[in-house]
Structure 1
């Protein structure tokens, strides 16, 4: 199982490079990597396992964060109604998004960034993502709220973008026009 030791930190060049598409059907090695990402995210949310294995809790993880520059992400997150969105995806791509924005009032964090970086991170309020599952099925996801924010954060990792790149440098808590705040 992945541990915090496997997660590379801010400043590592892999976090700033654009990840390569995963050739499909996926190889066993790529499937194992994607399974490991999902296992980490699920285990990190279990207080006993997280404490025992010294895992920092996360709701998403991208392959570049474990120094694998390939387009793979795992998210395991609930929305405001406690609906679970749990996906391990190859080659996720945002195919459409809302004009309206959203942001987490608490700001965003990242398993690759140890310090807290305060500020609002503007995201699309709703996104439609096309991707391929571990089983090789092509799916289309329509997400809003926290699941939408989470998947955008992880897809950014595939493009070498860090969450703090979106924060207004001059005024980190400046109101975001046409945006819905998400309490977390």
Structure 2
């Protein structure tokens, strides 16, 4: 089981490296990695388990965050589009995106970042994505709102990009032209 101590923090070189494509059929080790990432995210959203194991809550986790430089991440967003419950994305890509942008009005957070980083993180408002499941079956779907933002955040991890790289450090809360904020409580 992945615990907070297993999640590497900003400054670790793996977080800045471009992760390697995974090949099918997945090895037993790679299948286990997928399951472990998903188990952490699901457990982190359970109040009893997160308290018991000291887990910070999250909606996504990428393999590089546990020091595995592989192109896989998981998302678990129960209140959004149903396809993103227990979602494993292997070798994911954005195949098209909207011109319109969005951002979370309260900013983004990350399990690999132990500090508040204020500012707007511009993201595409709508994306069409392609990925593979553990069996190597292609998944193609359209995402918007929190699901689209979370997918882009985790995909950035596979490319060595941190969310705060998108924030304008001189004007972190400057207006993003044509962007609609996404409010989260």
What is the TM-score when the length of structure 1 is the normalising length? 0.96
Establish whether residue 122 from structure 1 lines up as the match of residue 122 from structure 2: yes
Can you list the C-alpha shifts for 1:116-163, whole angstroms capped at 9, x where unaligned?
000000000011110001232111021000000000000000000000
**4+ residue runs of structure 1 moved beyond 3 angstroms?**
none
For the pair 1:5 / 2:9, whether they are aligned, the reply is no
Structure 2 partner of 1:132: 132
- Give the Cα–Cα distance (whole angstroms) in 2 for the partners of residues 93 and 6 of structure 1: 26
Matched, 1:72 2:75: no
The 5 A counterparts of 1:33-112 are: 33-78=33-78, 82-84=80-82, 85-86=84-85, 87-112=87-112
DSSP-derived class of the 2:75 partner: strand
SS of alignment partner, residue 77 of structure 2: strand
Where 2:41 maps in the other structure, the secondary structure is helix
Given that residues 45 and 58 in structure 1 are in contact (C-alpha distance below 8 angstroms), is that contact kept between their aligned partners in structure 2?
Answer: yes
RMSD of the TM alignment (CA)?
0.9
Equivalences, count: 182
Measured in 1, the distance between the counterparts of 2:81 and 2:158 equals: 26
Q: Which runs of 5+ in 2 are unaligned?
A: none
C-alpha displacement of 1:89:
1.4
- Using the TM superposition, give the Cα deviation of residue 17 of structure 1 relative to its aligned residue in structure 2, in angstroms: 0.3
Structure 2 counterpart of 1:149:
149
What residue is the counterpart of 1:170 in the other structure? 170
Distance 1:143 1:88, change over 3 A: same
Q: In structure 1, what is the equivalent of residue 16 of structure 2?
A: 16
Q: CA deviation at 1:78?
A: 4.1
Shift of 1:66: 0.1
**Please, what TM-score do these two structures have when normalized by structure 2?**
0.96
